[in-house]
Amino acid sequence: MRRILIILSIASILSVSSCVELDITPKNIVTDDDLLNTPAGMDIYIARMYSHMPFEDFKYMAQWGLEYNGWLASLGIDGTGEAVNRDGITTSFTGERTAYWGQAFELIRDANHLIEMLPNYQEEFASELYDHYLGEAYYVRATVFYALARRFGGIPLVTSVIQYPAEAAQMEVPRASEEETWDQVLADFDRAAALMQEKSPKKGYSNKYVALAFKSQAMLYAGSVAKYNQTVSGRLTGLGEKTNVRVIGFENDSWQQASNRYFLEAYKAAREVMSAGGYSLYKKRWQAGDKGAQYQNMIDMFSDLSSPENIYVKEYLYPTLTHGLDSYSSPFTFRSPLSAGTCPTLDFIELFDGFPRYPDGSIRVTTGNSNTQGTYVMYDDPMAFFEDAEPRLRAYVIFPGDEFRGQQIEVRGGIYTGGTPIKPLFTNYAYNNADTRYQNLPAYTQSPKTLYLSPRDGGGQEQVEYQGQQMLAAGENGPFYDNPEATLTGLYLRKWLQTSSTADIGEGKSSQPFILMRYAEVLLNAAEAAVELQAAGVPSPDGSDMLQVATEAINEIRERAGAVLLDAPLTVSIEDRNVVRKERRKELAFEHKTKWDLRRWRVLHYEGRDGFWGEERPKETYSNNENFRFRGLYPFFSTEDGKYFFDARFQWVSSKTFGYTPLDYYFSIPSGEVAKSSVIDQQPNR
């Protein structure tokens, strides 16, 4: 009876209400009228888009992809040769655990929606502000298309909102050709730059010069792919099986024209930023001839939010928006809860000026012509080995024995108690002997024992009595050969880390900013595009002497870095092109740039690996077919004369092998997207 009464009551209510309008928007749904008609509403809309941008900063790990997660935060560990890490996240950049696909098209929809609907509210805004909001939408779409293109090549170019539900033909957008994709990236960046204001209307927004700076980066990538795909055996190109569209690579009769066009656009964009953007290299503490000041200047520039070099910065705020770089990548002394997540390699520091060299260009550690000849060069302390190194390198890497956060970072590969002079510990330092370790040497395993190492940290370390005191074999900061929580290479990261001795180190306690785009990169973009254009015989678009522009850009960066200046203008030779590439590798290290540069130069597969370092090096010294490895620089103490010597060999602790093939220059399209679609093609040969 109770149930019947309830039903009747509902029926009577409905009959009374039958003439009332029921098409009322629920109050928990935000509409265009709520967001797109005021600056405050637009702030919310744009902030939401920016929160999903494919920016690579402290919360990006190449192995995992854009998961916006700072766990195990490390930099340069993705097969670039910059650094290594003890964990499985140290792998070549051949794919991402979370493919950047679905979330990309969600953000593209947001940008398309703004482009289509904002004109309905144009009268609510001043014309300049209205144009800027539209420009932000095009900038977001350009950035997402760019992120997709450099991962996958040709992509579905969704440039309007797809309404749902709809006919299948309207819902399905096939992959465009790679050339069409890059043309769309170019068009969107151009539209963004034309619409946006020269100065960001609010903190966190972009502006015209942000768009131009990223355009120069994107077009440098496009020009390189169009050109250097041709250098890969069999030409790195192919058609989609479902659509017969050239989804990767360029047509044989158009690649050169496309390459020149993209390099030209990269140069023009960079030049506009250089001439009108008002940016300059950070030199607040810099002093000519003063290495200490130059070093401190480069330390300060990565945390100074007022830097004139900063073009676009991702800011953090403690305690609400933080990351964990210091917690995972500080020296072992500061472990909280982990450490040594980013261990720079010997291969990386060999890029820099200021070291003695063997005839083959590698860093000299012995008196002979290779590290198997002569005897070790002895130093009073480890820092003496680095006394002539570029100040820029010291700002990026913690050397053994240097100070950090008010402490001396004591690093030893071990202690040697045998007689001097000391011959090389190994007779074979080649790639095929990389797995022979110090603990395998007779000096360590046989009697009389003359080599002491550290199998673990703390009180368990091997110790040697020296001048009446016990000396730990590896010092306080390793390496410990069966505990990879200390340095793996003899070196630690310094760049980006907090330097204050009072800094609170721990998970989620770091708030230093990440510079996503800075003026130095724009200079490097201009220099590289200039050399490529001049080599192709393309005239300057603005009447400038492109090789002079390139030379001055490189020297401006080198002067600030405390490096040796070019003593002659750059030319169109391969050697001078590589000078520019090498400078880029040095300056932009640990900024998530190098892994993309190596991909676009097509130097990661074995046949192209001679140019891996931005200079010619025999690939056989660190490579074997598709596999390659990196080296450490290990200081040892000699009790016989109280001095240090260095040994240069392949990574000794938690060793990592990297691999790369031509197929890896393009990531696979997510298999689920291919399986469910009649028009989405998988990469050729996959």
Cα distance between residue 47 and residue 428, in whole Å: 57
> Tens digits of per-residue pLDDT, 551-562?
999 999 999 999
What pLDDT, on the 0 to 100 scale, is given for residue 28?
A: 64
Mean pLDDT of all residues belonging to the chain = 93
Cα distance between residue 389 and residue 354, in whole Å: 4
Cα distance between residue 322 and residue 235, in whole Å: 44
Query: Between 127-152 and 594-601, two packed helices, what is the crossing angle to 10 degrees?
Result: 60
Phi, psi (degrees; rounded to nearest 5) at 226: -60, -40
DSSP 255: H
Q: Is the peptide bond before 421 cis (omega within 30 degrees of 0)?
A: yes
What pLDDT, on the 0 to 100 scale, is given for residue 512?
A: 96
Cα distance between residue 267 and residue 223, in whole Å: 11
Burial of 455: CB neighbours in 10 Å, binned 0-12, 13-18, 19+: middle
Contact 468/623 with Cβ under 8 angstroms? no
| Burial profile 498-508: b = 16 or more Cβ within 10 angstroms, e = fewer | beeeebebebe
* Residue 204 Cα distances to 76, 187, 207, 210, angstroms: 26, 23, 10, 11
User: What are the tokens at 96?
Assistant: 């991402």
What pLDDT, on the 0 to 100 scale, is given for residue 458?
A: 60
Cα distance between residue 366 and residue 357, in whole Å: 10
Pairing of strands 631-638, 643-650: antiparallel
Percent share of the chain, pLDDT over 90:
89
What pLDDT, on the 0 to 100 scale, is given for residue 457?
A: 66
C-alpha Rg value of the chain to the nearest Å: 28
Contact 329/337 with Cβ under 8 angstroms? no
Query: Poorest-confidence range of 46-50, 98-102, 610-614?
Result: 610-614
Contacts of 493 (CB under 8 A, 6+ apart): 75, 83, 329, 341, 342, 343, 344, 396, 397, 398, 590
Nearest Cα to Cα of residue 148 among 181, 194, 113, 179: 181
| Residue range 21-31: mean pLDDT, rounded | 60
> Tens digits of per-residue pLDDT, 320-343?
999 999 999 999 999 999 999 999
| Residue range 162-176: mean pLDDT, rounded | 85
3-state SS class at 315: coil
pLDDT band at 592 (very low <50, low <70, confident <90, very high): very high
Tokens 């040095």 belong to 586
* Amino acid letter, residue 131: D
Nearest Cα to Cα of residue 450 among 482, 485, 427, 418: 418
Contacts of 662 (CB under 8 A, 6+ apart): 232, 233, 236, 605
Nearest Cα to Cα of residue 464 among 633, 332, 640: 640
Is the model more confident about 139 or about 456?
Answer: 139
User: What are the tokens at 146?
Assistant: 């760019």
The yes-or-no verdict on residue 21 having pLDDT over 50 is no
pLDDT band at 270 (very low <50, low <70, confident <90, very high): very high
What pLDDT, on the 0 to 100 scale, is given for residue 26?
A: 57
Contact 404/398 with Cβ under 8 angstroms? yes
> Tens digits of per-residue pLDDT, 127-165?
999 999 999 999 999 999 999 999 999 999 999 999 888
Query: Between 574-587 and 546-561, two packed helices, what is the crossing angle to 10 degrees?
Result: 40
Alpha-helical (H) ranges within 277-304 are 291-300
Domains annotated for the chain, with CATH where assigned, are: 32-292 (1.25.40.390), 316-512+630-659 (no CATH)
What pLDDT, on the 0 to 100 scale, is given for residue 381?
A: 96
The yes-or-no verdict on residue 18 having pLDDT over 80 is no
Which segments within 447-597 are labelled E, that is strand?
451-452, 463-466, 469-472, 492-493, 514-518
Contacts of 134 (CB under 8 A, 6+ apart): 114, 115, 118, 195
Cα distance between residue 584 and residue 454, in whole Å: 37
3-state SS class at 517: strand
> Tens digits of per-residue pLDDT, 408-428?
999 999 999 999 999 999 999
What pLDDT, on the 0 to 100 scale, is given for residue 313?
A: 98
Q: How far is CA 116 from the centre of its chain?
A: 34
pLDDT band at 621 (very low <50, low <70, confident <90, very high): confident
> Tens digits of per-residue pLDDT, 174-205?
999 999 999 999 999 999 999 999 999 999 99
pLDDT band at 668 (very low <50, low <70, confident <90, very high): very high
- What is the CB neighbour count within 10 angstroms for residue 121? 18
- What is the CB neighbour count within 10 angstroms for residue 210? 21
Beta-bridge partners for 366: 376
Q: Does the CA dihedral 159-160-161-167 come out positive or negative?
A: negative
3-state SS class at 267: helix
> Tens digits of per-residue pLDDT, 276-320?
999 999 999 999 999 999 999 999 999 999 999 999 999 999 999
| Residue range 425-437: mean pLDDT, rounded | 94
The yes-or-no verdict on residue 75 having pLDDT over 50 is yes
* Residue 343 Cα distances to 228, 369, 438, 451, 521, angstroms: 31, 28, 19, 24, 24
The yes-or-no verdict on residue 659 having pLDDT over 60 is yes
Contact 219/258 with Cβ under 8 angstroms? no
Nearest Cα to Cα of residue 340 among 482, 460, 494: 494
- Number of helices (H) and strands (E), helices first, in the chain? 19, 17
> Tens digits of per-residue pLDDT, 198-254?
999 999 999 999 999 999 999 999 999 999 999 998 778 999 999 999 999 999 999
The yes-or-no verdict on residue 394 having pLDDT over 70 is yes
